[in-house]
Chain A
Amino acid sequence: AQSVSQHNHHVILSEAASLELGCNYSYGGTVNLFWYVQYPGQHLQLLLKYFSGDPLVKGIKGFEAEFIKSKFSFNLRKPSVQWSDTAEYFCAVNALWGGYNKLIFGAGTRLAVHP
C-alpha cells in the first residue's frame, strides 16, 4: 500500500537556523509530490509541489524541496528559518488510483522556531 513517512515529528530551531524535514514515500508509479503547511489557527495551504522536470522546486516563503527518485524522497528545506515559520508541515503524495486523485499524507512535523 502507498504510504508517506515523515521522520521528524517535532523539530525545535532557533531563528536563522537551517531546516530540513524528511519525507519518504512508497509508491512505484508516477507521483506528484506536495508539501502543505498549517500555521496555527489557519487552514492547510500548499507550500510547494513537484510534478515533473527540475527535481529542485521552490515554493513560497523561501522554502524549497528536492525530489530524489532513487531514494523515494522529497525533503523540505529552508536555509534560514523565521519565527513565523512555526507551523505543522505535511508531506503528501498524489497517487492515481482507479482514475481518482488520491492524496496520501504523512503524519506531519511540528516545527517550533524560537526567537
Chain B
Amino acid sequence: DGGITQSPKYLFRKEGQNVTLSCEQNLNHDAMYWYRQDPGQGLRLIYYSQIVNDFQKGDIAEGYSVSREKKESFPLTVTSAQKNPTAFYLCASSRRLAGDTGELFFGEGSRLTVL
C-alpha cells in the first residue's frame, strides 16, 4: 500500500543532542513537508521541498535542518539550537504542481521528548 512512513514513533533525547527523524514516501509525490504540532497551536510548517535537492524554510525553520537527496526521503534534523524541541512532528507529501489540489497525505508522526 502507498503511504508515508515516519520513524521512530517515539524518541527521547537529552538536551544538546541532535536528532534525526525519518520520513519515507512511496506515493511518487514530488513535494514533501515537515510540520510541528503543539497543543492549541495547530500545525506549523517547518520546511518543505518541491523537488529533489531543493527545499525551502517554512514558518518556524530555526533550529531545524533537512535534506532531500532522494524523491522518497525527506529527513528532518532537530538540532541543539532548537529551543523548545519537545513536540509531535508530522511529515506530509503532495503532488507538486501549482494549482493542484494542495491535498496533503500525512504520516503517523514522531513524538520527540527532550529531557
Q: B-contacting residues of A (Cβ < 8 Å)?
A: 4, 6, 9, 32, 34, 42-46, 49, 51, 90, 94, 96, 99-103, 105-108
Contact = CB atoms under 8 A, between A and B. Distances in A.
B106 interface: yes
Nearest to A42: B108
Contact of B103 (A4, A49, A96): A49
B114 interface: no
Most buried by A among B90, B102, B106: B102
A4 B43 CA distance: 11
A43 B106 contact: yes
B43 A105 contact: yes
Contacts of B42: 4, 6, 90, 105-108
Contacts of B98: 96, 99-101
B40 A103 contact: no
B50 interface: yes
B51 to A, nearest CB: 11
Q: Is the interface of A mostly helix, strand, loop or mixed?
A: strand
Nearest to A51: B101
B102 A44 contact: no
- Count class of interface residues, chain B: 20 to 34
Contact of A94 (B35, B41, B44, B102): B102
Contact of A100 (B56, B103, B106): B56
B20 to A, nearest CB: 20
A6 B40 CA distance: 10
Interface string B98-112: 111111101111000
A90 B39 CA distance: 12
